[in-house]
Structure 1
Amino acid sequence: MAIITTLVHALPTPSPTTATLLLPAITLLILALYRLHLHPLSHVPGPPLAALTSLWLYWHSYRGTEARVIDALHGRYGALVRIAPGEIDVSRGEALAAVYGGAKKGGGFRKAACYRNFDIEGHQSIFSAVDPAHRAPRAKAVVGLFFYLPNWVFVAVEALAMRFNVEKHDVESSIGTVVSFVTEIVEEAEKDERKDTYPGRLLEAGFTKDETSAQCLDLIFAGTDSTGMNLATACWWLAKKPEVYELLREEILANSDADPQTMPYLSAVIKETLRISMANPTRLPRVVPSQGWNFESTFIPPGTIVGLSPFTLHFNPDVFPCPDEFLPERWREPTAEMLRDHIPFGLGSRACIARNLATVELYLGLREVVRSGVLEGATCVQDKIEILDWFNSRVVGEKIELEWV
């Protein structure tokens, strides 16, 4: 102690300018040492830069490489990877039930605060709400509609489609058309005594017109990109693999009057499409509850953000052999692990509320495309479909293209 005191007195007193410059540097150094060696997550492996700052994760998210980069890190570090100072990504399907709840109602961890970025006009949507108590009455009001959907939703979509100028691709005017359409159907629902529509049920449950409009916009925007991506991907693979197309067309033509959801090969094609399409490839973040969480002998402290991504699960060769290949036949006798890890619509009580609608759209849409014969002679323009893996993915080049020669 005497030596330290002597050294302190021997050192020159820094000038105010020097002290001002040194203080932030020392603070950052101490913070870095803490996050690397003393933080409650310091025992979880991962890139040192990710442990130091969330900028590492933000950068890969911005570039559209988040899912692929994190998936590669699992090959280096294992099932648990630290991807930010307070965040962990998990690669093992065994964690799904604990994190998302599986089939257990009300199970799983709460959504992370980042979902609030999906609020619409200041309103928490059924998708973006973090608090289950806030979401529950809104979801309860409309969830029943998704079990008998084709009747009203396709009429509504057709009416909306008629308002677009097919000669132009003006995003701003298209969004304006959607907003105008939603405003009108909410106004009509308020006047209609029958409350059997999406806006009607929300209004009847006591929610304001503004919030009802926001919920309707959320429903429309949430399903547009993903459904289009999935259907386009299915058509691309059918053009790429004519043997699959022929088997599917044979089944559809032989059962033209049957419910498409009863066709086994069509079901296999759709399941494989949802596995490989990657419309929503990135993590589904949740917050570890107050008691913490143990996964494979590793304790994860409360407040940690954890998540699993469809990208990592769907392309795991241990569960889906030859994961980059489009193989509908794999679904003829799926393993328990395949069924567990196939999560195109999420999982648990916070899974996509419109998953039934999305599935019906795929069944009906793909059946009609194949039955029409429009894919006869089609070939793929791209060698492969490359995506930017954002939450809602984007195709590099903005197009999935076929050509007829």
Structure 2
Amino acid sequence: MECRSIAALHEKYGPVVRIAPSEIDISDGAAINPLYVKNGGFQKSSTYQHFDFDGYPTIFSTRNPAQRAPRVKAVAPMFATREIVKGRPVVQDIIGGMVFELQRRSAEAPGRPLDVLNLFRALFTDITTSYLFGESLNGLGKQRLTVTTFVNNLFAGVRFFYLPSWLYDHVVRLASIFDKERMRVATSRVIVDNFITRIITKSLAEKETEAQTYQGRLLRAGIPQEEIKSQLLDVLFAGTEAPAMALAKLCWHLAILPAK
């Protein structure tokens, strides 16, 4: 509803719309560079604190450029095109597993709709963890029914993004009480937490061989171990939700417009 309402305002008033006394929404792509890139970008809104994990600001949520810079510098090489190309065989294997799973589900229920969004979240969970962390969370495997529930629950909180900080926590807590999936969410979070704790412990024990992983780079940069867990949760969500949603939308458009 929020997206539709703001889109309607842009349709009526143009690319810049005031949506609150001290807040505007811009729908012009030309604003990306000055807002997010040039000179480090503008300072983020306090609402980004909603996406802190366990009390730690993450690369995504921190509002302090000086705090963000050393963390970004530590992991940035992993996102260089040359490094990503090196990880291509691993990614291709995971995609092959996803295609097999898609075919299996389709064969089990011919002619019925498939939940490709959840499947693609599992896909990108495995890609993100395999490439960045050096080990797959196995979202496409036996734990597929529980692993992606963690991501689903985090994304559900986005609908409250614009709420002020003093209200956000109360609303999220209230929503969780009425969430029919709360037991599965709790199970999913335990699985993810245990996985992340284990790979951080492994990186601490095997510093030489683990130096090129996301967690290994943060450890080498001197980032506290307790914070690294939050940074890994952050990048897991970031690397899963956006591409999964984009791929699901692409499939939806192909399904309703097969001629194209």
- TM-score, structure 2 as length reference: 0.60
Give the Cα separation in 2 of the matches to 1:160 and 1:92: 36
Contact 1:123/1:211 (CA < 8 Å) preserved in 2?
yes
Would the aligned equivalents of 1:164 and 1:174 in 2 still touch at CA under 8 Å? no
Which consecutive residues of structure 1, in runs of 5 or more, have no partner in the other structure? 1-64, 245-405
1:119-198 equivalence runs, <5 A: 119-147=52-80, 148-149=83-84, 150=87, 151=90, 152-153=130-131, 156-157=135-136, 159=138, 161-162=140-141, 164=143, 166=145, 170-194=184-208, 195-198=211-214
1:113 aligns with 2:113: no
Structure 1 or 2: more strand by fraction: 1
The number of residue pairs the alignment matches comes to 177
Tell me by how many angstroms 1:235 deviates: 2.1
Amino acid at match of 1:217: L
Partner SS state of residue 242, structure 1:
coil
Tell me, yes or no, if structure 1 residue 207 matches structure 2 residue 223.
yes
State which of 237, 242, 246 in structure 1 corresponds to 2:258. 242
SS in structure 1 opposite 2:249? Answer: helix
**2: CA distance between counterparts of 1:115 and 1:167?**
27
Q: Distance in 1 between matches of 2:47 and 2:146?
A: 37
Q: Which runs of 5+ in 2 are unaligned?
A: 91-129, 150-183
| Number of the residue aligned with 1:83 | 19
- Counterpart CA distance in 2 for 1:156 and 1:230 is 24
What secondary structure sits across from 1:243 in the alignment?
Answer: coil
In structure 1, C-alpha distance between the alignment counterparts of 2:212 and 2:75, rounded to whole Å = 9
Note the C-alpha offset of 1:100: 2.6
The CA deviation string for residues 55-85 of structure 1, in whole angstroms up to 9 with x for no partner, is: xxxxxxxxxx222212212333344322111
Aligned ranges 1:93-112 → 2 under 5 Å: 93-101=29-37, 104=38, 106-112=39-45
In 2, are the aligned partners of 1:119 and 1:128 still within 8 Å (CA)? Answer: yes
TM-score (norm 1): 0.40
Please give the alpha-carbon distance, in whole angstroms, between the structure 1 residues aligned to 2:77 and 2:8. 40
Q: RMSD between aligned alpha carbons? A: 2.6
Instruction: Give 1:236 deviation, angstroms.
Output: 2.2
C-alpha deviations, 1:256-306, integer Å up to 9, x for none? Answer: xxxxxxxxxxxxxxxxxxxxxxxxxxxxxxxxxxxxxxxxxxxxxxxxxxx
Q: Percent identity?
A: 41
Alignment pair present for 1:216 and 2:232: yes
Could you tell me how far 1:118 is from its partner in structure 2? 0.5
Higher share in helix: 2
For each residue in 1:294-346, what CA deviation from the matched residue of structure 2 results, as whole angstroms up to 9, or x when unmatched? xxxxxxxxxxxxxxxxxxxxxxxxxxxxxxxxxxxxxxxxxxxxxxxxxxxxx
User: Which structure: larger Rg?
Assistant: 1
Q: Determine the C-alpha separation between the residues in 2 that align with 1:230 and 1:165.
A: 20
CA–CA distance in structure 2, aligned partners of residues 153 and 161 of structure 1: 15
**Could you say if the C-alpha distance between residues 66 and 159 of structure 1 is closer, same or farther in structure 2, counting changes exceeding 3 Å?**
closer
1-structure distance, mates of 2:36, 2:51: 19
- CA displacement, residues 30-51 of structure 1 (integer Å, 9 cap, x when unaligned): xxxxxxxxxxxxxxxxxxxxxx
Determine if contact 2:146/2:187 at 8 Å carries over to the other structure: no
